[in-house]
Amino acid sequence: MMRVGLLGCGNIGHLIASHAERFSVAALYDQDPDRARELADATGGTAYDSFEAFVAADVDLIVEAASVRAVRAHGEAVLGAGKDLVVMSVGALSDAAFLERLRTAAIAHRRRVYIPSGAVMGLDNLKVGRIGGIDRVVLRTTKHPDSLGLPVTGRTLVFQGRADDCVQAFPKNINVSVAIALAAGQEVQVELWADPAVDRNVHEIVAEGAFGDAYIRVRNVPSPDNPATSYLAALSILILLRDLADPIRVGT
Ligand SMILES: NC(=O)c1ccc[n+]([C@@H]2O[C@H](COP(=O)([O-])OP(=O)(O)OC[C@H]3O[C@@H](n4cnc5c(N)ncnc54)[C@H](O)[C@@H]3O)[C@@H](O)[C@H]2O)c1
């Protein structure tokens, strides 16, 4: 059975730990040691107070479920310790120089970095953009104004432009746009809408290229055990961990 180390024991960490099937959570670390200890009690894994001891633990891969800062601080060390890395705080990879350093470390230590599809579908064949060319990728996200902290009364375009610039103003929207950009191998045009009429987070992806064109719309409900996370994003993490142990791979 695959042995997983959890870097970050908050909402996502709990979600992974409470659905640990076909893998076990064997090692846990959090900058707040009480959180790691509490979750270790529930999983039967070992909580570590120091990152150095955690990264040396007997695990096959480490799931980062902490923060952009944690990925930047610890990502290379995880790979250097001979462990694969699952990155949840995908926004950390918007820094091209850091991404390159992570790639170099993964190659040097023959390890892999996995990025879950999160709150959207379609990353699989968006990857053809790296070979066949995609002329245009647009991510249109619509959220209730409350979740953006905006006092808006009608449907309003609150941002239009490059993903990097959107991140400055609305950092919580970074994971989806960076994952799409990495899959397609190119810049994504982002539109962010506030709409009091929606009760779900809606992501629409429009892609046009040599292959033809595609339109994908995902309307996300909150995760039943963690309303802050889309249920699809929660499922996507769990299926990634299951798939790693499965010899048959489906999808590009
Ligand atoms: N890709 C996706 O689909 C997806 C979905 C949901 C959340 N996320 C991302 O996953 C991350 C975790 O989300 P969450 O909801 O569990 O957050 P959370 O705040 O509930 O938990 C984060 C935990 O990590 C710990 N932590 C933060 N920085 C750390 C560091 N440098 N070293 C050690 N521990 C550290 C915190 O103490 C906390 O316990 C966030 O960055 C979030 O954006 C990604």
DSSP state letters, 136-178: EEEEEEEE-HHHHT----S-EEEEEEEHHHHHHH-GGGHHHHH
The pLDDT value recorded for residue 163 is 81
Q: Is 229 in the pocket of ligand 1 (CB under 6 A)?
A: yes
| 10 Cα: distance to centroid of ligand 1 (angstroms) | 6
For 110-130, the pLDDT digits (tens) are 999 999 999 999 999 999 988
The pLDDT value recorded for residue 40 is 97
What are the beta bridge partners of residue 188? none
| 210 Cα: distance to centroid of ligand 1 (angstroms) | 37
* Mutual angle of helices 96-108 and 68-80, in 10-degree steps: 20
Q: What percent of the chain has pLDDT over 90?
A: 81
The pLDDT value recorded for residue 21 is 87
Residues 138 and 192: beta-carbon distance below 8 Å: no
Q: In the predicted model, what is the mean pLDDT of the chain?
A: 93
Q: Which residues are catalytic?
A: 203
Domains of the chain with bracketed CATH:
2-115+234-244 (3.40.50.720), 123-220 (3.30.360.10)
Q: Is 223 in the pocket of ligand 1 (CB under 6 A)?
A: no
Which residues of the chain are under the pLDDT cut of 70?
A: none
Q: How large is the greatest C-alpha to C-alpha distance in the chain, in angstroms?
A: 53
What is the enclosing helix (H) or strand (E) of 118?
none
The pLDDT value recorded for residue 59 is 98
The pLDDT value recorded for residue 123 is 94
